[in-house]
Structure 1
Amino acid sequence: MNHDTTASPRYLVIGANGKTGRRVSARLTAAGHAVRAVSRSTAPAFDWYDAATWSAALAGMDRVYITFQPDIAVPAAAGIIEAFGRAAAAHGVERLVLLSGRGEPEAEACERVLFASGVDTAVVRCSFFAQNFSEDFLAGPVHDGVIALPAGDVREPVLDAEDIAEVAVKALTEDGRTGHVFELTGPRLMTFGDMAADLGAATGREIVYLQVTPEEYAAGAVEAGMSADDAEMLAGLFTNIFDGRNASLTDGVADVLGRPARDFADFAAAAAAAGAWPTASAETTTSNETTAA
């Protein structure tokens, strides 16, 4: 299927509600690009585990940003993404940009099958997301003041999703970006205790990191409302990746964006100011209002 090469590219963003997908979609839309952002709840719907949904999403699209759910490290991902690469090629897609995981052999298998798909591909390979603390499974623990993870004293180059989205948009829109793996990290290595301290400083509250076993983490996650399958998947993933394999920094963000990666403390301050978690001042105000009442 041949598209009109004189027209402006049309963009498909898979993961419309995800931490990076919604940011990529917003940036592309703000720049005036035609964007179709899809998920299981959109029209057309897109479901990684139902290939019958792919065609309607791909129809008429030129470039695709790919995020895989529930995680690119799950065993089924490489086979599904390989099939999607074939579908994209059949629909005349000209460029694929894959969100990948740093230090994950399963993710690298997904990268390889897309590079072999016949469609020009770029990979944005990322370390642990800062927004896991504000928009995902760690937001509740930050709210409660105890971050319990099976991570020991490992040091992670925690990375801001805003930086990821900005790099991904450049990979999607600019010439000369395909054929590359952009390996992104934050600007410093941090233990989860360091992250808890920065979150505490941003909120004015005591927030601590508690080291737990994978089994304790999974049990606590289920108790907090996570499905048993998701809790077991995360516990297994953390056991693998929180072993020090990612305890190194890259200049990936600076190489693409021409500026340093955003520091975790800056993320924490901005998220706290935006109301991601309770702050000491807000709690004091609420307490005073209750007393006055």
Structure 2
Amino acid sequence: MIVVTAAGGSTGTAVVRALRARGRSVRAVVGRRGPRPELTALGAELVVAELGRPMAWSGVLAGAEALYLIWPNFDPDEAEGAPALFAEARRAGLPRVVYHSVLRPQLRVMPHHAAKDRAEEALDGSGLRSWRVLQPCAYADNLDAQLPAVQADGRLRSPWGLRTAQSLVDLRDVADAAAVLLTEDGLDGGTFEAAGPEALTAPRIAELVGERLGRAVRAEDVVPRGEVPTSYAARCRRTMFDHYRAHGFTGSPRVLTDLLGRPPRTFAEHLADLDPGALGLPDRTPA
């Protein structure tokens, strides 16, 4: 049995799917009660537990062989909450913990990176018998919701500008890498980057999207206005895109290639695999 937190989110659900594809039993931790048809269809055991609130985790972790700790994105409690969960895992005698971090957490100009950096430091000193860290870059999937609008008006909106590049990674590859770290031996104490195979600027992304849509697409620079917001989540988003605009966010695909035993998917491959009907895209499947 492997426990996956924040399992109702896109990353958590993808990890549950990857583990179930390997035949592993999964206890999926969600923050609120309610139907979770996708997780239920995958055959996961559902458990309700709020990561940011003090509670006894012994029941959640009972009988588990590993924990995949995903903290909800842009949550201000991560820097203190994740170490508390590591301590719970140690007290429960959990054989293995894998922490879902981020590429280059040491970039503390971004609060959510700083929180993950502090969590990684705590993990190193946690006393856990076996731990690993996965550090993904930005997901290719983050752009999917924008595609119907792009199809309608031919504009790809980029909040990180037009000059700098990102190594967008397919979420399925991140989930498959997480499954490797959760189930395979010989990886203890390792920190593993998960970056896509290409350094893509917004104009290049627009070109690839245009090829998928069968129409001209241009990248449009969406420059943020006003002062940096004070609320935590908004400040995280603003400082993140400001950093991307100035420096990009790229990494090497070599580590992910080794984990997967194959090259990670390109952005064009990601686009080709999207469900045309769900996103209002033309079906490019041969007749």
Same fold (TM over 0.5): yes
Deviation string for 1:73-110 (max 9, x for gaps)? x5542211111110111122111111111123212222
Q: Which shifted more, 230-239 or 108-117?
A: 230-239
Contact kept in structure 1, 2:164 and 2:245, CA below 8 Å: yes
Within a 5 Å distance, the mapping from 1:117-132 to structure 2 comes to 117-119=126-128, 120-132=130-142
Instruction: Give the C-alpha shift of residue 184 in structure 1.
Output: 1.6
Matched, 1:247 2:250: yes
Match of 1:163, SS? helix
Instruction: Give the C-alpha shift of residue 187 in structure 1.
Output: 0.8
Distance (whole Å) between structure 2 residues aligned to residue 229 and residue 143 of structure 1:
33
Match of 1:185 in 2: 195
Please provide the CA RMSD for this pair.
2.8
Match of 1:275 in 2: 277
Q: What's the TM-score once normalised by structure 1's chain length?
A: 0.78
Match of 1:37 in 2: 28
Q: Which shifted more, 97-106 or 197-206?
A: 197-206
Match of 2:98 in 1: 97
Instruction: Give the C-alpha shift of residue 132 in structure 1.
Output: 0.8
Matched, 1:234 2:237: yes
Match of 2:117 in 1: 108
Match of 1:64 in 2: 67
Distance (whole Å) between structure 2 residues aligned to residue 160 and residue 205 of structure 1:
23
Match of 1:46 in 2: 49
Match of 2:7 in 1: 16
Distance (whole Å) between structure 2 residues aligned to residue 274 and residue 55 of structure 1:
44
Aligned residues: 260
Q: Which runs of 5+ in 2 are unaligned?
A: 34-45, 107-113
Match of 2:26, SS? strand
Within a 5 Å distance, the mapping from 1:154-169 to structure 2 comes to 154-169=164-179
Contact kept in structure 1, 2:64 and 2:94, CA below 8 Å: yes
Distance (whole Å) between structure 2 residues aligned to residue 53 and residue 133 of structure 1:
38
Contact kept in structure 1, 2:253 and 2:264, CA below 8 Å: no
Q: Which shifted more, 156-165 or 144-153?
A: 144-153
Instruction: Give the C-alpha shift of residue 264 in structure 1.
Output: 0.4
Match of 2:85 in 1: 84
The one-letter amino acid of 1:168's match is A
The one-letter amino acid of 1:29's match is R
Distance (whole Å) between structure 2 residues aligned to residue 92 and residue 28 of structure 1:
22
Contact kept in structure 1, 2:76 and 2:232, CA below 8 Å: no
Q: What's the TM-score once normalised by structure 2's chain length?
A: 0.80
Contact kept in structure 2, 1:203 and 1:278, CA below 8 Å: no
Q: Which runs of 5+ in 1 are unaligned?
A: 1-9, 220-227, 283-293
Distance (whole Å) between structure 1 residues aligned to residue 157 and residue 222 of structure 2:
6
Match of 1:147 among 156, 160, 164: 156
Match of 1:177, SS? coil
Distance (whole Å) between structure 2 residues aligned to residue 176 and residue 197 of structure 1:
41
Distance (whole Å) between structure 2 residues aligned to residue 147 and residue 216 of structure 1:
22
Contact kept in structure 2, 1:205 and 1:280, CA below 8 Å: no
Match of 1:25 in 2: 16
Distance (whole Å) between structure 2 residues aligned to residue 53 and residue 192 of structure 1:
46
Distance (whole Å) between structure 1 residues aligned to residue 14 and residue 241 of structure 2:
25
CA distance 1:279–1:84, change in 2 (3 Å): same
Instruction: Give the C-alpha shift of residue 171 in structure 1.
Output: 0.6
